[in-house]
C-alpha cells in the first residue's frame, strides 16, 4: 500500500512511519507542517528509504493538500496531524480549533473527492484512519471504570474538545457519505523521541540537570501509559485489518499516578546515573508540587479488549519494561534531545520547558 500519514514528524507519527518502513513493504507519504513539535530528525533512520517521501504541507492549506493526493495517489490515510498539548490549548486555543477541526474537515473533503474518483476495487480497499485520544471521554469516576468505545464524550480542555469535534466529523463523513473510516482513541503515549515538554522526558532531562521536577497538584492524576512503539503497531493493525465504521480503543494496561511515574524515573536514574549534579543526594528531592492545571482530569483508563479480541493486538511492553527502555534511550541519545532543547533542529531556540505538561 501507499499510506499517507499526516503529522508524521510528530512523536506518534514518526513511530508509525518507522514501524511501516522497518517492518512492512508498504510506502509512506509523510505530510507535516513542521510546527515546534515536528522533528524530521526523528526519521533519520528511514529518510533514505525509497518507500518514504516527505511533503511539507499544512493540512489547513486546502489546495496544497489536494495536490499531495493528486501526485501520490494513496491507498490509505492515517490522520495523526494535530495540536496536542493541553497547557498550550489553555493558553491559546485558536490553533487547536484551526488544525484539529478545520484541518480535519479539509482532509475529509479532499479524501472524499479523491476516494469517489477511484475505480471500484480501489474504493473498496481504501481506508481513512483517524487517530484520536482518550481525553475526549473526560474524567473517570472511581477506580474501577474504564473507557470503552461506547463511552459518552465529555472533553475537559480546548485540546480534548477539538479532538472530540474531529472524531465526530470523521464519523459523520462515514455515515453521510460512506467514506470508509476507522477511529482509534489511545491512552497516554511515552517512549523514544518524545518532545521534552511532556511529563516523562521533562522529568528525565530536568533530573539530569539538577532542576526541579514540577508535578501538578498532589500528583495523583492517573493515566494509562502506552509505549509508543506498541501504539504504532496497533495503528498499522487497524488501518490494514480494522472494520469500516468501527472505533478501537488502544491502551497499555498500565495505570499509574503521575507521582508514581516520577518516582520510578528517579529510581531508574539512581541506577543508571548515580553521579548526580552537585548538591543533590537523591533525584527524588528535586520533586516539587505546583498549582494544578485548570480542569485537570483525575483519571483515564482504557478498556482495550475490543482490539485484542477482534484484531489480535495487545501491547508487548509492560510499563516497567517500557519506561526502562525510555530512560535508557534518552541517556543514549543526547544529540537528539539537546538539539530540541537548544532549538537547533528548527534553527531557533525554544526557551524554557519548565512549564511543560505534567
Task: Name the residue ranges covered by the structural domains of the chain.
Answer: 2-194+226-254+298-318
DSSP characters over 152-163: PP---SHHHHHH
Report d(CA 5, CA 235) in Å as an integer: 11
At residue 343, the pLDDT reads: 86
Q: Are 162 and 101 in contact (CB under 8 A)?
A: yes
pLDDT along the chain (358 residues), means of 10: 98 98 98 93 97 98 98 98 88 94 98 98 98 94 86 94 98 98 97 94 97 94 96 98 98 94 98 95 96 86 96 97 98 96 67 34
CA dihedral of 164, 9, 251, 318, whole degrees rounded to 10? -160
The model's pTM: 0.93
At residue 13, the pLDDT reads: 98
Q: How far is CA 45 from the centre of its chain?
A: 20
At residue 23, the pLDDT reads: 98
Domain 2-194+226-254+298-318: CATH architecture, name and number where available: 3-Layer(aba) Sandwich (3.40)
Phi-psi region of 329 (alpha: psi -120 to 50; beta: other; left: phi over 0): alpha
Report d(CA 198, CA 232) in Å as an integer: 19
Closest residue by Cα to residue 115 from 166, 174, 45: 174
3-state class (DSSP) for residue 292:
coil
Tell me which residues are annotated as active site: 134-135, 159
At residue 347, the pLDDT reads: 54
Which residue is it, cell 481513512? 128
Please state the length of the chain.
Answer: 358
Q: Are 210 and 284 in contact (CB under 8 A)?
A: no
Amino acid at each position: 500500500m501507499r499510506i499517507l500519514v499526516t503529522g508524521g514528524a510528530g512523536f506518534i507519527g514518526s513511530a508509525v512511519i518507522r514501524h511501516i518502513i522497518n517492518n512492512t513493504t508498504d510506502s509512506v507519504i509523510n505530510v507535516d507542517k513542521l510546527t515546534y513539535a515536528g522533528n524530521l530528525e526523528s526519521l533519520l533512520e528511514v529518510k533514505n528509504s525509497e518507500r518514504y517521501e516527505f511533503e511539507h504541507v499544512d493540512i489547513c492549506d486546502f489546495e496544497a493538500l489536494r495536490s499531495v493526493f493528486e501526485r501520490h495517489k494513496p491507498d490509505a490515510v492515517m490522520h495523526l496531524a494535530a495540536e496536542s498539548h493541553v497547557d498550550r490549548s489553555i493558553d491559546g486555543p485558536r490553533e487547536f480549533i484551526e488544525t484539529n477541526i478545520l484541518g480535519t474537515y479539509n482532509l475529509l473533503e479532499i479524501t472524499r473527492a479523491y476516494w469517489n474518483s477511484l475505480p471500484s476495487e480501489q474504493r473498496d480497499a481504501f481506508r481513512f484512519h483517524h487517530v484520536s485520544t482518550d481525553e475526549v471521554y473526560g474524567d473517570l469516576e472511581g477506580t474501577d471504570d474504564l473507557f470503552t468505545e461506547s463511552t459518552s464524550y465529555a472533553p475537559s480542555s480546548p485540546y480534548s474538545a477539538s479532538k472530540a469535534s474531529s472524531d465526530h466529523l470523521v464519523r459523520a463523513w462515514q455515515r453521510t457519505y460512506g467514506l470508509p473510516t476507522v477511529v482509534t482513541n489511545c491512552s497516554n503515549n511515552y517512549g523514544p523521541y518524545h518532545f521534552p515538554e511532556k511529563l516523562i522526558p521533562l522529568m528525565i532531562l530536568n533530573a539530569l540537570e539538577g532542576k526541579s521536577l514540577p508535578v501538578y497538584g498532589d500528583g495523583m492524576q492517573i493515566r494509562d501509559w502506552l509505549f509508543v512503539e506498541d501504539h504504532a503497531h496497533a495503528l498499522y493493525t487497524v488501518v490494514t485489518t480494522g472494520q469500516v465504521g468501527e472505533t478501537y480503543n488502544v491502551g497499555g494496561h498500565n495505570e499509574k499516578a503521575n507521582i508514581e511515574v516520577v518516582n520510578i524515573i528517579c529510581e531508574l536514574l539512581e541506577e543508571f546515573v548515580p553521579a548526580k549534579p552537585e548538591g543533590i543526594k537523591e533525584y527524588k528531592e528535586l520533586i516539587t508540587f505546583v498549582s494544578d492545571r485548570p480542569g485537570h482530569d483525575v483519571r483515564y483508563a482504557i478498556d482495550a479488549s475490543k482490539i485484542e479480541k477482534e484484531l489480535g493486538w495487545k501491547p508487548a511492553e509492560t510499563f516497567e519494561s517500557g519506561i526502562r527502555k525510555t530512560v535508557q534511550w534518552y541517556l543514549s541519545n543526547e544529540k537528539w534531545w539537546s538539539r530540541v532543547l537548544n532549538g537547533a533542529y528548527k534553527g531557533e531556540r525554544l526557551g524554557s520547558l519548565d512549564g511543560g505538561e505534567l
